[in-house]
């Protein structure tokens, strides 16, 4: 295992410390072990938004704390859900008396711990709503969408819910509603080219032959749709796009938000090679697009590969996407 670290057990904690030291005007640490990330300047008089999940995916989850996005985030060890007490502390930090939206991926440990936290805080009078991301088309069929994993599409939910929560008079129900609508219209598929190594495990999470790729693999190395020979970039882009267009029921005249995401090791050059084919494929279907997000948004340590996310837009969703944010990881350049 070759990684830039000190002790494997300190990996997550020191990464969070470094992020907060790099952006002290944006982030602050709290919680008993510093695993709760909050805004440096807490918001007032708005519904709160909290997320959480394991380390190893930066900038997801904690990186999206900031104005126009999340109010707080609870972070676990690499690929492990956050502790119940950290979930509790994050919800308390985000509460302004207008309720808190719990917005995270569809994973068993995260669901269990956030549900326990919400139940315990109900006695304190903190109202919560939960919306789960389940955008990974490689993890279950459309008919069983409730079983799907949440992956990069969660970031679009952060963005639109965060913008809605900042609007004057926003309610918890309205914020939860727009997050759910965003996710109902979002689909993602990923492709893995190589594994990653969890520091405390010290060995790769899975194996792929030199000439192999796996379509639909999850961001923790969960099994995908199929494993086969490495495809040329244009062929790969065509397969990913056609899968999402079919699953999302997208058609001529629709408008979409597009995210091409590196899973960690894949460089921008390769994402742009994919993008030239994706945008021509969208244009061929007479589907227009919001300025794309291309880069590292939801990673899996140093895994090589990429994911493609499409969110079907309506007027409100597009306006919320275009709203300003305070984040190093989101660009509204148009």
Tokens in use for 50? 């909290």
Indicate the burial class of 90 (C-beta count within 10 angstroms; 0-12, 13-18, 19 or more): buried
Do 99 and 128 touch, CB atoms closer than 8 A?
yes
Measured between alpha carbons, how far is residue 84 from residues 61, 131, 225 in Å? 16, 18, 33
In degrees and rounded to multiples of 5, residue 91 shows phi and psi of: -65, -45
Is 25 designated active site? no
Tokens 């899968």, located at residue: 243
Q: Which of 285, 283, 287 is nearest to 254 (CA)?
A: 287
Structure-token pair, residue 296: 């590292």
CA 178-166-18 angle, to 5 degrees, is 100
Location of structure tokens 């109900």: 122
Q: Which of 220, 277, 296, 312 does the annotation list as catalytic?
A: 220
Pairing of strands 305-312, 36-39: unpaired
- Residue 57 annotated to the active site: yes
Please choose, from the candidates 89, 134, 72, 80, the residue with its C-alpha nearest in 3D space to the C-alpha of residue 112.
80
Exactly one of 35, 39, 46, 57 is catalytic; name it: 57
- The shares of helix, strand and coil residues in the chain, as percent rounded to the nearest 5, are 35, 25, 40
User: CB atoms < 10 A from the CB of 101, how many?
Assistant: 30
Contacts 24+ apart (CB under 8 A), 26-34: 26/65, 26/66, 26/326, 26/327, 26/328, 27/62, 27/65, 27/66, 30/89, 30/93, 31/74, 31/85, 31/86, 31/89, 31/90, 32/85, 32/86, 32/89, 33/86
Which residues are part of the catalytic machinery? Answer: 57, 220
């Amino acid at each position: 295992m070759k990684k830039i670290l000190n002790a494997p057990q300190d990996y997550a904690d020191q990464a969070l410390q470094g992020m907060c030291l790099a952006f002290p005007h944006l982030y602050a640490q709290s919680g008993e072990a510093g695993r709760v990330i909050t805004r440096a300047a807490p918001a007032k008089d708005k519904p709160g938004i909290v997320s959480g999940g394991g380390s190893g995916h930066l900038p997801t989850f904690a990186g999206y704390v900031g104005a126009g996005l999340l109010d707080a985030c609870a972070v676990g060890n690499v690929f492990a859900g956050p502790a119940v007490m950290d979930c509790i502390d994050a919800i308390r930090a985000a509460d302004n008396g207008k309720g808190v939206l719990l917005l995270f991926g569809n994973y068993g440990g995260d669901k269990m711990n956030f549900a326990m936290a919400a139940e315990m805080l109900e006695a304190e009078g903190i109202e919560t709503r939960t919306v789960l991301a389940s955008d990974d088309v490689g993890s279950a069929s459309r008919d069983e969408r409730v079983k799907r994993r949440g992956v990069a599409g969660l970031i679009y939910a952060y963005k639109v819910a965060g913008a809605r929560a900042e609007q004057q008079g926003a309610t918890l129900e309205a914020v939860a509603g727009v997050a759910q609508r965003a996710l109902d219209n979002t689909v993602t598929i990923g492709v893995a080219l190589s594994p990653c190594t969890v520091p405390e495990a010290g060995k790769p999470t899975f194996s792929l032959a030199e000439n192999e790729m796996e379509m639909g693999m999850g961001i923790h190395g969960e099994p995908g749709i199929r494993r086969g020979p490495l495809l040329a970039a244009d062929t790969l882009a065509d397969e990913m796009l056609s899968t999402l267009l079919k699953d999302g029921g997208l058609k001529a005249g629709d408008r979409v938000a597009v995210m091409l995401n590196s899973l960690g090791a894949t460089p921008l050059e390769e994402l742009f090679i994919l993008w030239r084919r994706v945008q021509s494929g969208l244009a061929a279907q007479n589907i227009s697009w919001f300025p794309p997000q291309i880069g590292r948004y939801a990673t899996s340590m140093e895994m090589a590969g990429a994911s493609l996310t499409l969110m079907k837009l309506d007027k409100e969703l597009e306006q919320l996407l275009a709203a300003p944010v305070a984040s190093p990881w989101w660009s509204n350049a148009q």
